[in-house]
Amino acid sequence: MIEGIGAAAGVAIGKAFVLPSWEWDLPDQKMDTVDLAKEFERLYEGIRTSKSEIQFIKDEFREMVGVEESSIFDAHLAILEDPEFMNEISGIIQRQYKAAEVAVKEAIDHFVTMFDLLDDEYMKERAIDIKDVGNRLLKHLLGAPEVTLPNDTQPYILVAKELSPSQSAHLNPSYVLGIVTMNGGKTSHSAIMARALGIPLVSGLESNLNLPVQTGDMMVVDGELGRVYVNPEKSVTDHYIILRDEQRRRKEQLQVLASVEAVTKDGTMLKLAANISSVKELEAALKHGAQGVGLFRTEFLYMDRKSAPDEEEQYQVYRLITEKAGNHSVVIRTLDIGGDKPLDYLELPEEENPFLGYRAIRISLDWKELFKTQLTAILRASAMGNIKVMYPMISSVEEVRQADALLKEAMADLDARGLAYNPNIQRGIMIEVPAAAMIADLLAAETDFFSIGTNDLVQYVLAVDRMNEQIAHMYHPYHPAVLRMLRMIAQAAHQAGIDVSVCGEMAGDERSVPLWLELGIHQLSMSPQSLLRVKHRVLNTTASEAMTIARACFGMSTGAAIEDKLTAANISCTPAGPGRP
């Protein structure tokens, strides 16, 4: 067994196809000065052809998985226009009299080595992009054939040193059962694409690989645990065949619930919406029966790029999501950057305590133009459907007022430009900081709805960093302090007559259903993969019984006791039901 990083969950069993890497053997002879003009002409021709090829791949890929994922290829097009990269190539041709392909190869090596040396995930990803674009250019300069994936064979497990975005764009889930890469991590482009396509992926195997894999070898890939088996024993394959089939069966069983409404046996209805960060995720969520989007984490539109998306780009994404959501509502959360989500181009300072620092609304209220651009795009899209706007990490009434003032300015801008928007757009806030919970009554007077972000609320209430593995056992969503705070928030919302929903991970834990029923929370938003599990729990619940269980939990003094009670109730309530898919 070889261990790597589990980058896209699922089990794949099949034969390996080892992708040959692009390796070039280039002569290093010098050119005649008279040939220089010819070399530049070849270079420009190669750039033109590469550009149209990348544009073609981008269009194809957009059709397949969506706008955001295909924007990776904008980065590739930008490399072919990048003055630094181009000057490096021209300089080598002009000053060292080297052939265009040699200059391109040396320029790639120069930048890749430079970026690889930086201990920065983002720059390492850029190194892969440069290699990918450079190889495409080299291929044209040398007239070499494309290294392609077979699409006319039996399904296979793809093994590659690293998978470039252009290669990932050609992945066809009908043929590619799973992927194993020597390089890369969870945030690499190929990981994002594999997850979007539902293909199990284990990456980052390089340091652990001691067995060379050959095309045709039998393999098992466990994308959850990050394990790869080459020519495994029969017992291993048998175990994974059972696991794979069980996962498929559970998924299929739950899938029949997609079109059913989430109503308890005694008639209490819960609305189950999805947390998404891309159009592709919304598509998956709708397949799982999501009733709209309860949380669109827009910061992912801003990450892994050199500058912020402009108004038009954001508008197109928000519009598309609204269109796809149909009659359902879409809650667009404004930029929640900082903490564990950095943005290179904002050059945010290193902080001792990033989660207690410059984050979310605090940044937006400082970077007013950046924030207003986003608000304007959201407003424009609000003319097309049921969009609500939500501010993250609110801790005071002033923050809500300042954000609203900028929203008004954005509306005035649109009036001046004669563009349509919904002037009555609902404005809500995340309740995820204890201060906000304590003044929930005051905040309720300022906003149209609350959404409780339990991921942050738990970390702030318990003073347990949600990223710190050492104290992960203390991160307890069922701690009595958390439950009391949830009750305070719900009561304040009910008294003010505003909607309150939950959008943290707790909403996707089916054991929590009794708590929501007791607290009068009728809307939950969760990761698309949790929707059917939670719905299954709701369908098998009697609200009156669940409320008795929840009341008992509110009277308990430890998180462990509460969790045990909810777990036991879950088991007794859904004995024959399918488990976690």
**Of residues 423-452, those binding ligand PEP (CB under 6 A):** 432
Report which DSSP code applies to 305: S
Report which DSSP code applies to 62: H
CB atoms within 10 A of CB 256: 9
Q: Which does 297 bind (CB under 5 to 8 A by kind): Mg ion, ligand PEP, none?
A: ligand PEP
Catalytic residue, candidates 76, 328, 476, 503: 503
- The single residue among 165, 294, 453, 514 that binds ligand PEP, judged by CB under 6 A, is 453
Q: Which stretch binds ligand PEP (CB under 6 A): 201-209, 231-239, 453-461, 535-543?
A: 453-461
Q: Is 559 in the site for ligand PEP (CB under 6 A)?
A: no
Q: Is 509 in the site for ligand PEP (CB under 6 A)?
A: no
Q: Which does 504 bind (CB under 5 to 8 A by kind): Mg ion, ligand PEP, none?
A: ligand PEP
Q: Which stretch binds Mg ion (CB under 5 A): 41-49, 103-111, 129-137, 456-464?
A: 456-464
Q: Is 66 in the site for Mg ion (CB under 5 A)?
A: no
Q: Is 456 in the site for Mg ion (CB under 5 A)?
A: yes
Q: Which does 503 bind (CB under 5 to 8 A by kind): Mg ion, ligand PEP, none?
A: ligand PEP
Q: Which stretch binds Mg ion (CB under 5 A): 180-188, 260-268, 364-372, 454-462?
A: 454-462
Q: How far is CA 345 from CA 93, 187, 361, in A?
A: 32, 18, 18
Q: Give how many residues touch ligand PEP by CB under 6 A.
A: 10
C-beta of 186 vs 251, nearer to ligand PEP: 186
Q: Is 336 in the site for ligand PEP (CB under 6 A)?
A: yes
Q: Is 222 in the site for Mg ion (CB under 5 A)?
A: no
Tell the smallest beta-carbon distance from residue 458 to ligand PEP (Å).
8
- The single residue among 70, 364, 374, 454 that binds ligand PEP, judged by CB under 6 A, is 454
Q: Is 453 in the site for Mg ion (CB under 5 A)?
A: yes
Q: How far is CA 11 from CA 94, 221, 368, in A?
A: 52, 6, 46
Q: From CA 287, how far away is CA 279, in angstroms rounded?
A: 13
Q: From CA 392, how far away is CA 430, in angstroms rounded?
A: 5
- The single residue among 129, 162, 304, 456 that binds ligand PEP, judged by CB under 6 A, is 456
Q: Is 338 in the site for Mg ion (CB under 5 A)?
A: no
Q: How far is CA 17 from CA 83, 154, 188, 332, in A?
A: 38, 10, 21, 42
Contact 50, 137 (CB under 8 A): yes
Catalytic (active site) residue 553: no
CB atoms within 10 A of CB 127: 20
Q: Is 504 in the site for ligand PEP (CB under 6 A)?
A: yes
Contact 209, 2 (CB under 8 A): yes
In degrees and rounded to multiples of 5, residue 87 shows phi and psi of -65, -35
Q: Is 414 in the site for ligand PEP (CB under 6 A)?
A: no
Going by C-beta distance under 8 Å and a sequence separation of 6 or more, which residues neighbour residue 574? 510, 536, 537, 540
C-beta of 354 vs 453, nearer to ligand PEP: 453
Catalytic (active site) residue 503: yes
Q: From CA 333, how far away is CA 277, in angstroms rounded?
A: 10
Q: Which stretch binds Mg ion (CB under 5 A): 146-154, 170-178, 424-432, 459-467?
A: 424-432
CA-based end-to-end distance of the chain: 24
Q: From CA 19, how far away is CA 211, in angstroms rounded?
A: 16
Q: How far is CA 298 from CA 301, 375, 427, 486, in A?
A: 6, 11, 16, 25
Contact 318, 421 (CB under 8 A): no
**Of residues 267-296, those binding ligand PEP (CB under 6 A):** 295
Residues involved in catalysis: 189, 503
Interacting residue ranges for ligand PEP, rule: CB under 6 A: 295, 297, 336, 432, 453-456, 503-504
